[in-house]
């Protein structure tokens, strides 16, 4: 089932660092920011994680919980989180269930070969479990600020 802005997100459950279970209902009452990224410890993904880290207190103040999601396993996530001192949890979607549900698995050309990869994307889910906004195929510079503005606008509207 594809996700659609202004519709509830479909059922899912996943494991995150810190021993946290995340599902479509686990954070009702809280705004969720879920950002999907290709791979731990790569330049763009490291920059994006550090930008979410550096603005994390602003997201918390605006009432949002942040999760990073990739296909990496829990060991990789734990190391990436520790190395960058990330204050938020990372979801290990090793079976690509969430990636497919959110429609972020794309065919890419890497070194002349077709590969399936994760399209850098962010989703803003309201406290009511409704998808409020999405950013797909995004560039890292300025993105975190755009998401924070949307979170603050959502808080103001509530």
Mapping DSSP to helix (H, G, I), strand (E, B) and coil, where does residue 77 land? helix
Which is catalytic among the residues 16, 45, 101, 148?
Answer: 45
87: CB partners within 8 A, 6+ apart? 53, 56
Report the side by side order of strands in the sheet with 64-70.
Answer: 20-23, 13-16, 89-92, 64-70, 31-36, 121-125, 131-136
Tell me, yes or no, if 99 is annotated catalytic: no
Nearest Cα neighbor of 54 from 144, 138, 123, 143 is 144
Q: Which residues are catalytic?
A: 45
């Amino acid at each position: 089932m594809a996700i659609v802005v202004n519709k509830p997100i479909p059922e899912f459950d996943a494991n995150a660092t810190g021993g946290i279970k995340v599902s479509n209902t686990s954070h009702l009452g809280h705004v969720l920011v879920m950002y999907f990224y290709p791979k731990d410890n790569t330049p763009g993904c490291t920059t994006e994680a550090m930008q979410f880290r550096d603005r994390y207190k602003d997201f918390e103040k605006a009432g949002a919980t942040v999760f990073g999601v990739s296909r990496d396993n829990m060991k990789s996530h734990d190391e990436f989180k520790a190395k960058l001192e990330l204050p938020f949890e990372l979801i290990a979607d090793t079976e690509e269930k969430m990636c497919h549900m959110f429609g972020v698995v794309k065919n890419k050309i890497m070194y002349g070969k077709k590969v399936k990869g994760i399209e850098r994307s962010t989703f803003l889910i309201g406290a009511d479990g409704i998808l409020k906004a999405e950013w797909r195929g995004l560039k890292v510079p300025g993105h975190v600020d755009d998401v924070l503005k949307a979170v603050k606008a959502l808080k103001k509207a509530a």
